[in-house]
Structure 1
Amino acid sequence: MNVADKIVQILEEEGINTVFGIPGEQIMPLYKSLSTSNIEHVLTRHEQAAAHAADGFTRSSGKVGVCIATASPGALNFTMALATAYKDNVPILVLTGDNELQYRGSDHFQTLPQVEIFKNITRASYNPLNGTEAMYVLRAAIYELKTMPKGPIHINLSKDVLLEEDFNDFDLCYLCEDDMSNISRAQELIDSSERPLFILGAGAISQRQNIEMIAEKYQIPVTTTFHAKGIISEYDDLNLGLVGIRATPRAKYAFENADCIMALGIKASERTLPEIPQNLIHVNLNKDVLIGDYPIHGKVEDFLLEIDFKNVSWLDEILKIDNAIEIEGLDDDLAPQSAIKRILEKFPENITASDAGSHTTWTTLLKKSQKPGQLLFSGGLAPMGYGLPAAIGAAKATGEKVIVINGDGDFQMNLQELATLKQNNLDVIIFILNNSEYGIIRQWQEDFYDMEPYQIALQNPDFVKLASSYSIDAVRVDNLEDLEYLLESDLKGPLVVEVVVRSENIPLPKK
């Protein structure tokens, strides 16, 4: 057994049954081992898509997504998607091949300092120099991805290391170095509080049942970040909705009037907390993101076990506020928001993958999630081209129907993954909102730079013919009536629906 064989064996032992990637010369030993394993390999058409698919796999299921690429040309295609996962703290395992160790630091064909390149867009980037080191970092990486999910972990594997047969394996026992020293101070704040509020981030998803029980028992209202939507059903009165720049009226009121804010597993970006409240208890595994006067470096689970809560009575006060978000044009023909509203009404319980651009604003405002992972989008970095490959990953992870809401510009960033979609015959329905422009860029040009639209017009292909060339069913609608008629059908993917829409500005956040 060589190192490549052992890596695949460990992946199988850890319950990893799906990986995404493209084979190549330097990673070939690993692919030889995969070819005789029980792990399903999903062949994407671009490495960026493989990493986005691993990202969508993880976000939709909570399981560890894995992506694989060969040396420099393949590995460097990961960078956009890894940066996306890094910004959103998505735990995926990234395996790249490399030339033999003797060529490290040289100008040899396809040799670049991959670890140095990746270290700024991953939580850790390892470069094992022998088989024993490879075993150690692999087991450490999988442990951290499962127990301390803070982002992607990269392991760079030289071809000669993969072929090594003389190595030792490890039985790791890791301890998380927590700092719970502020628990007593946090307890004092909670004890004195009459208006407590939970802000829940993706780091709290694993504790959703405990949090729901506590919130229900003590009537503590909940708000969420984008990536924790549905941690408590958004149809439940306890869930006030999004906090931050896209806050619902109830969430905004609760945030401004709470006397104790318990932020659990949130990154606390400027999109969530434009200002840092003095009464903030911030719990996170990643000590680098902790803010406020009551920082607690540790697991949300441990915080919930340590803290005593009490009944409060301000939820009825909050519920008196109308929580409807005013969105104009929801019944206008050819308005993107009206199309998105009807798509989401047709598929309320399905995983929805969005992308980057104006359509993402409408989607995040209109989508209600009943559980985590029902809305996938590239929040912190927001690259175009995320939606389709992420949906492929989600469909593979869950076996469910997945909906993609794309702009015409986004879709063309990774449209080659229609081939992956067809090859795997996944139940993914792609709605392309075609306004023949980079709409949000046009809005910035007009509203903030007082300029005429410049280099934003798109001369698009015929999306129906394009999908058909991949042997995927496709249809075009150019009015609301036809869209509503289509949505009455029992739609099944792979399917592409081009929805012709008008140019429309998004509602900008109000301070």
Structure 2
Amino acid sequence: MNVSDKFVEILAEEGISDVFGIPGEQIMPLYKALSTSDINHILTRHEQAAAHAADGYYRSTGKIGVCIATASPGALNFTMAVATAYKDNVPILVITGDNELKYRGSDYFQTTPQVEIFKNITQDSYNPLNGTEALYVLRASLFALKNNPKGPIHINLSKDVLLSTEFEDFELCYLCEDDLSNISKAQELIDKSQKPLFILGAGAISQGQNIKGIAQKYNIPVTTTFHGKGIISEYEDINLGMIGARSTPRSKYAFENADCIIALGIKASERTFSEIPDNLIHVNINKDVLIGDYPIHGKVEDFLLNVNFKKVDWLDEILDIDNETAVEGIHDDLKPQAAIFEILNKFEDNIVVSDAGSHTTWTTLLKKSKKPGQLLFSGGLAPMGYGLPAAIGAYVASDEKIILITGDGGFQMNPQELATLKEYDLNVIVFILNNSEFGIIRQWQESFYDMNPYQIKLQNPDFVKLAASYAIDGVRVDNLDDLKLLLQKNLTGPLVVEVIVESEDVPLPK
């Protein structure tokens, strides 16, 4: 047995059932070990897509996503997607191959400083120098990803390390670091509060049922960030909707009038807070993102076990506010928001993946989530091309029909993954909203730079024929009635639906 064999054995022992990647020379020993294992490998057509798929795999189910690439050309193709996961604190395991250790720092073929590059876009980037170190950092990484999930972890494996037969493997035991010293101060604020408010982010997903019970028992309203949507169903009165740049009327009112804001597992970006409130209790396992006067570095679960709440009486005051988010044009033939409105009505219980672009605004405004992981998109980095590979990862993780809403520009960043969609016969329906332009860029040019549209018009391929070239069914609709008729059918993937839509401006955050 060599290090590669033991590495794959540990992955399987730790519950890793699926990985995404592309083989190559320097990572080949690991692929040899994978080839005789029970781990399911999904071959993508680009390394960026493999990492986006691992990202979507985690976001949809909470299971650790794993992506694998060979040395420099493969590894560096990861960087866009790994940075995407890093900005949104998505815990994925990123494995790259490398040339033999003796070539580090040289100009040898396909050698670059991979570890140094990945240090900027991961929580940790490891470079084990022998077999024992490789297995040690694997166990440590998997523990951290499961118990202290702050973002991607990278392990760079030289070919000679992978082939080594000299190693020791240790069972490791860790305690996650935390600092709950501000709990008593936070408790004082909660005790005085008459108008508390929960804000839930992705870090609170595991405690959803517990938080729901507390909120309902004590009448404490709840809002969420983009990535906290569905922790409590958005169809329940206790959930006021999103906070921040896309606030619902109720969440905006609650935020402005709350005397105690309890933020659980949120990153607290500028999309959430334009200014940091002085009554903010912020709980997060990542101490680097903590803000406000009551920072608590620890797990949401531990915080909830160590504080007490009381019943308050201000929910009815909030519920008197009409919470319907006004989205104009949802019945107009055929504006993007009208198409998205119909798609979401048809697939309201499905996982929906959105790419980057103007369609993301309409999707986040119109999509209501009943549980976490029902709306996936990249919030922090927002690269075009995220959608299709993330949808692939979401399907592999959940084995449920996945709905992808993408624009014509974003889709063309990773269209090669139609081959992956077809090869594995994945039940993913791709809706391409085609307005033949980079719509959000045009809007910025016109609204903020007082310029005529420049370099935003797209000469697109025939997307239906493109799908057919991959042996995937495709259909085109160019009016609202035909889209409604299509959506009445029992649609299954792989399927590409091109929807010809008008140019339309999105409501920009103020």
Q: Distance in 1 between matches of 2:14 and 2:443?
A: 47
The equivalent of 1:196 in structure 2 is 196
The equivalent of 1:212 in structure 2 is 212
1:58-137 to 2 correspondences below 5 Å: 58-137=58-137
- Corresponding residue SS for 2:363: helix
Q: Distance in 2 between matches of 1:274 and 1:139?
A: 39
Q: Distance in 2 between matches of 1:326 and 1:320?
A: 17
Amino acid in structure 1 at the alignment position of 2:46: H
1:38-437 to 2 correspondences below 5 Å: 38-437=38-437
Q: Distance in 1 between matches of 2:271 and 2:119?
A: 25
Q: Distance in 1 between matches of 2:313 and 2:3?
A: 59
- Corresponding residue SS for 1:339: helix
Deviations along 1:40-67, one digit per CA (max 9) or x if unpaired, are: 0000000000000000000001000000
Q: Distance in 2 between matches of 1:268 and 1:292?
A: 10
- Corresponding residue SS for 2:11: helix
How far did residue 2 of structure 1 move? 0.6
Q: Distance in 1 between matches of 2:374 and 2:78?
A: 24
Amino acid in structure 2 at the alignment position of 1:88: D
Deviations along 1:368-389, one digit per CA (max 9) or x if unpaired, are: 0001100000110000000000
How far did residue 176 of structure 1 move? 1.4
Q: Distance in 2 between matches of 1:444 and 1:224?
A: 27
CA RMSD of aligned residues (A): 0.5
How far did residue 175 of structure 1 move? 1.1
Identity %: 78
| Alignment partner of 1:17 is 2:17 | yes
- Corresponding residue SS for 2:318: helix
How far did residue 170 of structure 1 move? 1.4
- Corresponding residue SS for 1:206: helix
Q: Distance in 1 between matches of 2:326 and 2:405?
A: 21
How far did residue 250 of structure 1 move? 0.2
How far did residue 35 of structure 1 move? 0.2
Unaligned residue ranges in structure 1 (runs of 5+): none
Deviations along 1:202-228, one digit per CA (max 9) or x if unpaired, are: 001011111111111111110000011
Q: Distance in 1 between matches of 2:241 and 2:386?
A: 24
Q: Distance in 2 between matches of 1:331 and 1:209?
A: 36
Deviations along 1:138-179, one digit per CA (max 9) or x if unpaired, are: 000000000011100000000000011111111111111211
How far did residue 509 of structure 1 move? 1.6
- Corresponding residue SS for 2:171: coil
| Alignment partner of 1:499 is 2:499 | yes
How far did residue 190 of structure 1 move? 0.2
1:466-505 to 2 correspondences below 5 Å: 466-505=466-505
The equivalent of 1:32 in structure 2 is 32
Q: Distance in 2 between matches of 1:232 and 1:148?
A: 22
How far did residue 274 of structure 1 move? 1.1
Amino acid in structure 2 at the alignment position of 1:141: S
The structure 1 segments of at least 4 consecutive aligned residues displaced by more than 6 Å after TM superposition are: none
Amino acid in structure 2 at the alignment position of 1:41: H
Q: Distance in 1 between matches of 2:289 and 2:473?
A: 45
1:445-464 to 2 correspondences below 5 Å: 445-464=445-464
How far did residue 132 of structure 1 move? 0.6
Amino acid in structure 1 at the alignment position of 2:398: T
Amino acid in structure 1 at the alignment position of 2:215: A
- Corresponding residue SS for 2:244: coil
- Corresponding residue SS for 2:42: strand
Unaligned residue ranges in structure 2 (runs of 5+): none
Amino acid in structure 2 at the alignment position of 1:329: G
- Corresponding residue SS for 2:32: helix
- Corresponding residue SS for 1:450: coil
Q: Distance in 2 between matches of 1:91 and 1:208?
A: 19
Amino acid in structure 2 at the alignment position of 1:350: N
Q: Distance in 1 between matches of 2:292 and 2:312?
A: 23
Q: Distance in 2 between matches of 1:313 and 1:163?
A: 65
How far did residue 264 of structure 1 move? 0.4
Deviations along 1:233-277, one digit per CA (max 9) or x if unpaired, are: 000001100000100000000000000000000000000111100
Amino acid in structure 2 at the alignment position of 1:126: Y
Amino acid in structure 2 at the alignment position of 1:252: K
* 389-398 vs 501-510, which moves further: 501-510
Q: Distance in 2 between matches of 1:482 and 1:361?
A: 24
Amino acid in structure 2 at the alignment position of 1:118: F
Q: Distance in 2 between matches of 1:488 and 1:136?
A: 53
How far did residue 500 of structure 1 move? 0.0
Amino acid in structure 2 at the alignment position of 1:332: D
Amino acid in structure 2 at the alignment position of 1:160: D
- Corresponding residue SS for 1:245: helix
Amino acid in structure 2 at the alignment position of 1:256: E
Q: Distance in 2 between matches of 1:490 and 1:72?
A: 44
Q: Distance in 1 between matches of 2:453 and 2:391?
A: 32
Q: Distance in 2 between matches of 1:219 and 1:109?
A: 63
How far did residue 327 of structure 1 move? 1.1
Amino acid in structure 1 at the alignment position of 2:293: D
Q: Distance in 1 between matches of 2:333 and 2:121?
A: 42
Amino acid in structure 2 at the alignment position of 1:387: G
Amino acid in structure 2 at the alignment position of 1:472: I
How far did residue 36 of structure 1 move? 0.3
Deviations along 1:361-406, one digit per CA (max 9) or x if unpaired, are: 0000000000110000011000000000000000000000000000
Q: Distance in 2 between matches of 1:250 and 1:203?
A: 23
- Corresponding residue SS for 2:373: coil
Q: Distance in 1 between matches of 2:3 and 2:216?
A: 50
How far did residue 508 of structure 1 move? 1.1
Q: Distance in 2 between matches of 1:39 and 1:175?
A: 29
Q: Distance in 1 between matches of 2:114 and 2:81?
A: 15
- Corresponding residue SS for 1:240: strand
